[in-house]
Amino acid sequence: MVLFGATGDLVRRKLLPGLFHLANAGLMPENYRVVGSSPAAGALSDEEFRTHAREAVTEFGRSKPEGKAWQAFEESLSFGAADPEDPQPLLAAVREAQRGLGGRARLLAHLAVPPVAFPSVVQLLGDTGLAEDARVIVEKPFGTDLPSAQALNATIHSVFDESRIFRIDHFLGKESVDNILALRFGNGLFEPIWNRDHITHVQIDVPEEISIEGRARFFEGTGTFRDMIVTHLFQLMGFVAMEPPTSLEAHALRAEKEKVFQSLRPVDPAHVVRGQYTGYREEPGVDPQSDTETFVALRVELDNWRWAGVPFFLRSGKSLGQGRHVVTLGFREPALRMFPMDVSHGSCLRSNEMVIDFDDPGSITARFLTKEPGPAMRLENAEMVFQYAGSYNEVHALEGYERLILDAMLGDQSLFTRSDGIERLWEAATPLLEKPPPVEPYAPGSWGPDRIHQLIEPYRWSLPADQ
Ligand code: BG6
């Protein structure tokens, strides 16, 4: 495996700790080598890269870098710098690693580099012959609009065919995303009601408590819509809304997800609230006049037989009241007239909802009404909650990146995005990208600009739970 961008944040926080966790869990191949790479200006020696890895695993890993497992992992690490004009150190490191493996092992390249660097790294892999038979993991954001995504796909396709490209979206590696499939398609209790006849609206809500945390340069050029919606939240929507695939094989699963994207109506800017937290413009590196959104809430629609007329509300933002990952399905109310219920009491009821919390480990909650004990017929909110924590042995759980890197090593593309799917999402996003409404301020610690309530009417956001 070659990690491009080996001294960067992603490799330090996620990839090195994740690879060590896989090794520790016995999920790495019997023989493997990990070669870190970066431009020569930031080159490390093998020893420095091992120290870098030890520090990364100490700070961010779930298992401590010690014992036999660590020793073996550490021995697998080496470093080779690469610049487009001089890829020699990398080639030498890969050759050395191949020799250690006793033959020509299949190469997996992970492009943990900023999007501007994708084309030159892909070109380098092609020109040096490293791409031959290799697989490539490409990080998000995959383009910033339709033309840039098309150009990026063309560049990658000039070296790799689609079957060897793994566009990674770490949300799809979360356990609970697989669980959406299990919940929907494994249960006669839920499958028949998962459609417009029973569901009034869907919320996909990923508020974050963290701010931009010093990522001004990235964020100013990206904003929440590109950073979170076009990638993670639309992908999740694909899983919530897809038709039953004929199997869980990559071709079947991805085909159903892409059909959801095909049916996505163009995003209407009138149904979008863009927000910016107060104080964002004073962050170091941020333009004092910046119009970049740190929050977005939108209503989108799927024009297909299952979901026609059912709005999907998506929300994400930085510096909000809580960090959560929640999908809420609102069900149709039956006629409640037979129950004596004063209006003020009735308006506090939050029932007829299914809430899938996909924090790791997540939970599934059904909200419904029960009779309050006593002589009068009075309805009250009730909940049935299933918690993953405590229900299963968590040792087998893998974090998003771990699961997806493992899948890429095994050549399983089920949870990776296809080029046409990504392009279709950018196409649907075009009206908003061309005419974004102005950003509205919101207080850090709140849940976004006030207009979000108007956006979701006649429904209510299921978060915060105590509203
Ligand atoms: C990343 C975004 O892809 O996902 C970040 O670039 C965001 O801005 C992060 O904070 C959220 O991921 P998670 O798994 O922590 O919810």
Query: What is the structure's pLDDT at 343?
Result: 42
Ligand 1 atom 6 nearest Cα: 227
Rounded Cα distance between 128 and 84, Å, is 10
CA torsion sign, 138 to 203 to 186 to 254? negative
CA of 170 to the centre of ligand 1 (A): 8
Query: What is the structure's pLDDT at 115?
Result: 81
- Is there an atom of ligand 1 within 6 Å of 205 CB? no
Rounded Cα distance between 47 and 252, Å, is 45
> Any idea of the CA torsion for 42, 45, 47, 50, to the nearest 10 degrees?
40
Residue 141, preceding bond cis, omega within 30 degrees? Answer: yes
Ligand 1 atom closest to residue 227's alpha carbon, by position in its atom list: 6
Ligand 1 atom 15 nearest Cα: 208
Residue 342 or residue 122, greater confidence: 122
CA of 266 to the centre of ligand 1 (A): 25
Residue 103 backbone class (left: φ over 0; alpha: ψ -120 to 50; beta: rest): left
Ligand 1 atom closest to residue 215's alpha carbon, by position in its atom list: 8
- Is there an atom of ligand 1 within 6 Å of 208 CB? yes
Q: What is the DSSP string of 61-90?
A: -SS-S-HHHHHHHHHTEEE---BTTB-HHH
Q: Where are the alpha helices (DSSP H) in 102-225?
A: 118-128, 146-157, 175-185, 216-220, 223-224
In the structure encoding, which two tokens stand for residue 220, read together?
């100013």
DSSP state of 111: E
CA distances from 238 to 104, 168, 242, 423 (A): 38, 15, 6, 14
Q: 429: helix, coil or strand?
A: helix
Averaged confidence pLDDT in the chain: 93
Q: Please say whether the beta carbons of 124 and 158 come within 8 A.
A: no
Query: What is the structure's pLDDT at 349?
Result: 62
Mean pLDDT of 22-33: 94
Burial of 59 (0-12, 13-18, 19+ CB in 10 A): exposed
pLDDT band at 20 (very low <50, low <70, confident <90, very high): very high
Residues near 130 by beta carbon (within 8 Å), at least 6 away in sequence: 2, 90, 91, 94, 107, 109, 124
Residue closest to 238 by CA, chosen among 265, 262, 268: 262
pLDDT band at 360 (very low <50, low <70, confident <90, very high): confident
Ligand 1 atom 4 nearest Cα: 228
Query: What is the structure's pLDDT at 84?
Result: 92
Mean pLDDT of 232-238: 96
pLDDT band at 377 (very low <50, low <70, confident <90, very high): confident
- Is there an atom of ligand 1 within 6 Å of 353 CB? no
Mean pLDDT of 221-241: 95
Rounded Cα distance between 261 and 45, Å, is 45
Active site residues: 232
Query: What is the structure's pLDDT at 271?
Result: 98
Is residue 346 scored above 50 in pLDDT?
no
Mean pLDDT of 123-142: 95
Ligand 1 atom closest to residue 228's alpha carbon, by position in its atom list: 2
Which of 169, 220, 225, 228, when mutated, tests ligand 1's pocket best, judged by the most ligand atoms within 8 Å of its CB?
228
Mean pLDDT of 110-135: 94
Mean pLDDT of 208-236: 93
Query: What is the structure's pLDDT at 46?
Result: 98
Ligand 1 atom 10 nearest Cα: 208
Is residue 295 scored above 50 in pLDDT?
yes
Ligand 1 atom closest to residue 140's alpha carbon, by position in its atom list: 3
Is this structure's pTM higher than 0.85? yes
CA of 208 to the centre of ligand 1 (A): 9
Which of 167, 232, 318, when mutated, tests ligand 1's pocket best, judged by the most ligand atoms within 8 Å of its CB?
232
- Is there an atom of ligand 1 within 6 Å of 399 CB? no
Residue closest to 268 by CA, chosen among 310, 301, 309: 301
Q: Please say whether the beta carbons of 297 and 448 come within 8 A.
A: yes
Residues near 454 by beta carbon (within 8 Å), at least 6 away in sequence: none
Looking at this protein, which amino acid is placed at residue 263? S
Is residue 427 scored above 70 in pLDDT?
yes
Query: What is the structure's pLDDT at 341?
Result: 61
Mean pLDDT of 407-426: 95
Query: What is the structure's pLDDT at 378?
Result: 84
Is residue 361 scored above 90 in pLDDT?
no
CA of 223 to the centre of ligand 1 (A): 12
- Is there an atom of ligand 1 within 6 Å of 227 CB? yes
Mean pLDDT of 22-43: 95
For a pLDDT cut of 90, what percent of the chain falls above it? Answer: 83
What's the order of all strands across the beta sheet hosting 135-138? 77-79, 34-37, 2-4, 108-111, 135-138, 165-167
Ligand 1 atom closest to residue 212's alpha carbon, by position in its atom list: 8
Query: What is the structure's pLDDT at 179?
Result: 87
Q: 351: helix, coil or strand?
A: coil
